[in-house]
Amino acid sequence: MKKRLVLAAFLITITGLGAQPSQAARDSINRLTAADHEQMKSQLGIAIPNRPGPSGNPQGENAANRDESKVNKYILPDPLKMNNGDRVVTEKDWWEKRRPEIVEYFDREIYGRLPAGIPAVKWEVVSARDTLIGAHPIREKILRGVVDNATYPEITVEIELLVATPAGAKNAVPVVMEFGFIRSPWGNNAVTPIGLGSSTEPTWKEQLISRGWGYAVIVPSSIQADNGAGLRQGIIGLVNKGQPRKPDDWGSLRAWAWGASRAIDYFETDANVDAKRIAIEGLSRYGKATVVAMAYEPRFSLAFIGSSGAGGTKILRRVFGEQVENLASTGEYHWFCGNFIKYASTLTPDDLPVDAHELVALCAPRPVFISSGSPQVEGQWVDAKGMFLSGVHAGPVYRLLGKNDLGVTDFPILGTPLVGGEIAFRQHAGGHSTGPNWSTWIAWACRYWGDCKYN
């Protein structure tokens, strides 16, 4: 399975850069990335090498743990215990005291802060047409969000967004927005690589449109590149005027989430879209971006967090599957702020002031659906149980806010939909995809959005 994940990650990475780059271009990206990682470590005063992460190849030496009996003992920070030791017992204290403490930790140590003075985005319609998705008529628009670069014209950022709504809808409809691709990175009519779409369900787009809902796709690489070499470009580079990041500056995940918020700004002006019913969805690294977007943007109504793994909803302290050491390596550190590198060198994951359950708690009281594939097909790198546990341990915050938690604390058998509350979970029987969970997600979302053929 790791092979498939690696293939997917590789294709995502290279296609995020446009056409497939040559070996020379890849070498240059790797060199610039390594140099940026190194300069960040010297800003942090870290002279020792990072600890290497385990291997995603189950047959490899130093394979990541896949044995539940070998999971370490760890103590999770209590989301309802304030830094001064007091317990949070009122909603007011959650919103005014404890939640800001948790946000500060995620900002400073994991995902980075949004800088002051991010320039404005102006949305333009690039093209609009009436077309079909499956048998269903739709209105499809492609938009470009042009970021004002007057302060540093050397860098241009144009966010790519597609939005499609049912042609028959007279009123504004709910929309699910995916972090993804507008043009298939595998070419027109290409077959999706194994593991990415292993579902016999109709496509997510057809399922949404046939219900009377819309879909949108936002392209992360149009906001910020998916590698360390790109950190002096994109929206992060534009705000920093082409200079390297400071240790608590935002990483790509927050930049992608920021772009998703700008898309909501646009939806608020589009008469076909009900901006009060927007969901965010994504898989893998884009699943990580999904939970970050949901945590930081209160205008998202629902989330569908696909196989987000480590750096998403997986408990970071849990030694199973991918580890902090992998995330902080040159291949992935750009998703986070520079400070995160400390936890794979001078500090350990147990020193993190927060863990993934508190990221889920930041989404409360809004409903979140945590999705995973099966160990047999997807593999164990994403750590389905580790993702389930963040849902379990976010429960006290949802309950404090008058909402329902997962309803169970034992990991369910494959396929069981835990969809009775505002924290939902399902491990489907397919691979590294949200595909086989769409119909379950939609049935759950109807509770909040209504059945809605055009209302």
In the complex, the smallest distance separating the C-beta of residue 64 from ligand GCU, rounded to whole angstroms, is 10
Nearer Cβ to ligand GCU, position 165 or 433? 433
Q: Which stretch binds ligand GCU (CB under 6 A): 22-30, 217-225, 246-254, 304-312?
A: 304-312
The CB-of-128 to ligand GCU minimum distance in angstroms stands at: 32
Among 199, 227, 326, 440, binds ligand GCU (CB under 6 A): 326
Q: Which residues share a beta bridge with 124?
A: 144
User: Which residue, 284, 288, 447, is CA-closest to 367?
Assistant: 447
Least spacing, CB of residue 22 vs ligand GCU, in Å: 22
What whole-number distance in Å separates Cα of residue 233 and Cα of residue 223? 10
Q: List the one residue out of 353, 355, 361, 286 whose CA is nearest residue 318.
A: 355
Rounded to a whole number of angstroms, the minimum distance from the CB of residue 195 to ligand GCU is 10
Judged by CB under 6 A, the number of residues near ligand GCU is 12
Region near ligand GCU per CB under 6 A, out of 3-11, 348-356, 392-400, 410-418: 3-11
CA-atom Rg of the chain in angstroms: 21
Q: Give me the count of residues in the chain.
A: 455
Q: How far is the CB of 285 from ligand GCU (least distance, A)?
A: 3
Position 315 contacts ligand GCU (CB under 6 A): no
Q: SS3 breakdown of the chain: % helix, strand, coil, rounded to 5?
A: 35, 15, 45
Closest distance between ligand GCU and the C-beta of residue 156, in Å? 26
Helix (H, G, I), strand (E, B) or coil at 17: coil
Stretch that binds ligand GCU, among 6-14, 19-27, 360-368, 440-448 (CB under 6 A): 6-14
- Within 82-129, residue ranges assigned H as helices are 91-93, 99-105
Cα 405 from Cα 391, distance rounded (Å): 8
Q: For residue 322, state whether it binds ligand GCU (rule: CB under 6 A).
A: yes
Closest CB 228 distance from ligand GCU, rounded Å: 14
Distance of alpha carbon 315 from the chain centroid: 15
Residues 261-290 that bind ligand GCU (CB under 6 A): 284-285
Q: Which of 9, 138, 219, 361 binds ligand GCU (CB under 6 A)?
A: 9
Give the residue, chosen from 310, 344, 354, 359, that forms a contact with ligand GCU under the rule CB under 6 A.
310
Among 1, 4, 8, 427, binds ligand GCU (CB under 6 A): 8
Q: Shortest gap between Cβ of 198 and ligand GCU (angstroms)? A: 15
Residues 360-399, one symbol each (x = binds ligand GCU by CB under 6 A, - = not), give ---------------------x------------------
DSSP single-letter state for residue 350:
G
Residue among 249 and 322 whose Cβ is closer to ligand GCU:
322
- Rounded to 5 degrees, what are φ and ψ at 323? -120, 165
**How far apart, in whole angstroms, are the C-alpha atoms of residue 170 and residue 335?**
40
Among 16, 251, 259, 309, binds ligand GCU (CB under 6 A): 309
Measured from the CB atom, the residue of 7 and 142 that comes closer to ligand GCU is 7
- Reduced to 3 states (helix: H, G, I; strand: E, B; else coil), residue 256 is helix
H or E element, residue 65: none
Contact 435, 306 (CB under 8 A): no
133 near ligand GCU (CB under 6 A): no
Instruction: Give CA separation, 50 vs 41, 53, 100, 352, in Å.
Output: 10, 9, 30, 16
* CB contact set of 295 (below 8 Å; sequence gap of 6+): 106, 359, 360, 362, 363
- In the complex, the smallest distance separating the C-beta of residue 81 from ligand GCU, rounded to whole angstroms, is 29
- Omega into 365 within 30° of 0, i.e. cis? yes
φ, ψ at 143 (rounded to 5°): -125, 160
- Amino acid making up residue 416: T
Interface residue list for ligand GCU (CB under 6 A): 5, 8-9, 12, 284-285, 309-311, 322, 326, 381
